[in-house]
Structure 1
Amino acid sequence: MPMDFLRRIEKEQLPLTVTDPLGIRNVAVLTSAGLVEAILPQESEAFDLPGVVLRITPSGRVELQRIRDKSA
């Protein structure tokens, strides 16, 4: 799930290389939502190429805080 992935990468050293297909899909969703900035393989490229999360955007940080507030 993309939001679980966002929570997981919050504490990671960025840029973060993502190699598994599910992780790359999560990064694509988060990028589309404006929550992270990333470099993703293009559709014409092989699926085994990695994606790279460059940063969590300010909107992503707001969403992470919203998740924390909701679970408290």
Structure 2
Amino acid sequence: MPMDFLRRIEEASFPLAIHEEADIQRAAVLVAAQLIEANLPEPGKGEGRGAVILRITPMGRAELSRLRPQ
């Protein structure tokens, strides 16, 4: 799930290169939701290429805080 992926990269050092197709798809969903900024391969042309996550946006950080148990 994209939110699990967001939690997984929360403490990562950015920029973060990712290469697994499933992670790239999760990152694309998070970009569309404006929770991260990333350079993604063009659809249909990215096979074998990676993506680079530039940062978690303030909206993404807020969502991570909201998901934490209180």
- The one-letter code of the counterpart of 2:21 is P
Q: Hey, which of these two has a bigger chunk of helix by percent?
A: 1
- Superposed CA deviations along residues 29-69 of structure 1, whole A, max 9, x for unmatched, are 0000000000000014131100100000000000000001x
- Structure 1 consecutive aligned stretches of length 4 or more whose deviation exceeds 2 Å: none
* Residue aligning to 2:67: 67
Q: Distance in 2 between matches of 1:66 and 1:47?
A: 34
Q: Aligned letter for 2:16?
A: L
**Where in structure 1 are there 5+ consecutive unaligned residues?**
none
Q: Residue 18 in 1 paired to residue 15 in 2?
A: no
AA of the residue aligned to 2:66: R
After TM superposition, the structure 1 stretch with the greater mean CA deviation from structure 2, 20-29 or 43-52, is 43-52
Q: TM-score, normalised by structure 1?
A: 0.92
RMSD, matched Cα: 0.9
Displacement, 1:25? 0.3
The count of aligned residue pairs is 70
Q: Paired residue for 1:41?
A: 41
SS of residue paired to 1:42: coil
